[in-house]
Structure 1
């Protein structure tokens, strides 16, 4: 995490953005409930306790005069001490009296409308321009992302290098989650599949079955609100499907080449669609989504045939082209020199594909 002063400056810049939208809408307050928006505004703070929900144990209420953390007596001290930079005020209510929070919000809005990321009870959704603004990451966010991506890649490599064919999928997933937690990374999603289930399912939630001759491990790894998304494979004593890998890498390369500032996200989808057809895998694009823009969600926006979102420098991407039993995925940041692979591990076997290193399957002894 960046130091307290850079975080406070980042928060101040984002508050200025929110207040400009407040003024434009003549609204009284912006209320941010979600784990994603809370992390964005607080420069990486977390309001998550129960990790299976989008909402957290605290909110941020922004008015023209104040940026206030809304929470209860259970959470306030920990949030103040461990999660949040200076610059926020706090409204702390007893956990048994949530109505006090609602009264505070209404008073702060002074009768004007309230905008929210998760609108309820007459609140208005956030403006489209603000939602798009979140997709463009600032310098400190990019640096946090680089560290996260590097460590998530190290974690997945570490686990697959010691995996064995007699491990169950659940053992592999558990080892992956442990490797992430040990690095202070939340395993928001860990998928694992062995020899039998790998070609059958695109989203193989881990089972009790042994891995067998090959395995896939997938991470959506979250820290400071940002997601590093990546997929890796290992084969045990059997040859990896090199021809399939190469064909899929060509599909991916076509999609990645379309990621350019000023192009639409749908242009990437159509590039991938054409590449699948060229590879004689026309149906593959219908068998699984292709990923898209990432950041404060594992997928902020999924690429589709009519996704008009324009691509900009500072956006992050995680595409996941796949055939049955073969997939490729990393997290990239679009910068002035093109795409930067945030989840690249120089120690992992790789092939050069149109000037970009792409991961091969790790070949291990049975």
Structure 2
């Protein structure tokens, strides 16, 4: 049995245990995140901005199905799906036929779903949601590929960037570099010289980037998100910006040091809040979210004062502490013995050691 089939079989077995325990007759997964998880990295995405796709997974005690329509069925079978799944295709103009099929194979019984839409459907249990966030070894291997491709795209684009480019051009070059590597540019944010100190979530504009710029990726491959932020400066960085970048790296280190199995996310949030205070930036934690766990969503859980969910081996994290004009972000996987692996590290991008880890610094051109 291939690694993909083994991965799917393990997940299906876990789901069937839940069905037995809860006395539900089936489980439907409609979201792009859950579809990718259940199918070991297959995609049901056509419209990039949609949270659900053109197919869904249905698991019963007897069978594993992908439900789609006749437009998509052959392509999914040929190019996306592992062998574990049967395919049911309804006519594209007859969505009711799919619902009738589900009723038949579940005996009109109760169904769990990530997006319940009818009375017989109920939300997913916490145990399954946590299982999705903990990567198997085969998932981590795919994640490494996504992270490597995403950071190579980032480095390539920033080394080619010019101060006369508009923010649109830089974002477009980033998206092109991601597509060229088979990744979805789920998010490409850009702030040039003027807008950089003003906005944390800087959607690109037609303004020239000028002396410096920030580029942010949420790059999706196999359903997994590689999140990273980098800066380019077309001159030597000023003392003011050098200080800001140094501060966010030191603040981030407090979060990374606490990324150990069993650590609750709110403990890391509180450590970040304290770190900002120690650097004289008491309000900064209120000005932008600080990140959290990642994986099949850009953020599975965003850390805040009430998130008591705990870290575990196999969970991925992406923290993004920021100050006006400075930010740091990479995607890390929590491995055995509390080791953190930086999935988006690129030795070809300038970096500096912070508390034993190599962290990116602005590229000066």
TM-score of the two chains, using structure 2 as the length reference: 0.98
Q: Distance in 2 between matches of 1:306 and 1:260?
A: 18
Q: Distance in 1 between matches of 2:259 and 2:197?
A: 29
SS in 2 for 1:134: helix
1:347 and 2:345 equivalent? no
Q: Distance in 2 between matches of 1:120 and 1:93?
A: 18
Q: Distance in 2 between matches of 1:357 and 1:87?
A: 41
1:69 and 2:66 equivalent? yes
Q: Distance in 2 between matches of 1:259 and 1:8?
A: 31
Give the match for residue 136 of structure 2: 138
Q: Is the 8 A contact 1:70 1:101 kept in 2?
A: yes
Worse-superposed segment, 330-339 or 320-329: 330-339
User: Displacement of 1:259 after TM fit?
Assistant: 1.0
Q: Distance in 2 between matches of 1:211 and 1:111?
A: 58
Q: Distance in 1 between matches of 2:136 and 2:231?
A: 32
Q: C-alpha deviations, 1:158-179, integer Å up to 9, x for none? A: 0000100000000000000000
Q: C-alpha deviations, 1:332-360, integer Å up to 9, x for none? A: 00011411100000011111100000000
User: Displacement of 1:111 after TM fit?
Assistant: 2.9
Q: C-alpha deviations, 1:188-211, integer Å up to 9, x for none? A: 000011011111111111100000
SS in 2 for 1:216: strand
Q: Distance in 2 between matches of 1:249 and 1:32?
A: 38
Q: Is the 8 A contact 1:255 1:271 kept in 2?
A: yes
Which among 224, 227, 235 is matched to residue 225 of structure 2? 227
Q: Distance in 1 between matches of 2:64 and 2:101?
A: 13
Give the match for residue 81 of structure 1: 78
Q: Distance in 2 between matches of 1:255 and 1:58?
A: 38
Instruction: Give unmatched runs, 5+ long, in structure 1.
Output: none
Which among 25, 29, 33 is matched to residue 32 of structure 1? 29
User: Displacement of 1:147 after TM fit?
Assistant: 1.1
User: Displacement of 1:239 after TM fit?
Assistant: 2.0
Instruction: Give unmatched runs, 5+ long, in structure 2.
Output: none
Give the match for residue 255 of structure 1: 255
SS in 2 for 1:275: helix
RMSD of aligned residue pairs (Cα, Å): 0.9
Worse-superposed segment, 207-216 or 257-266: 257-266
- Dislocated runs of 4+, deviation >2 Å: none
The number of residue pairs the alignment matches comes to 361
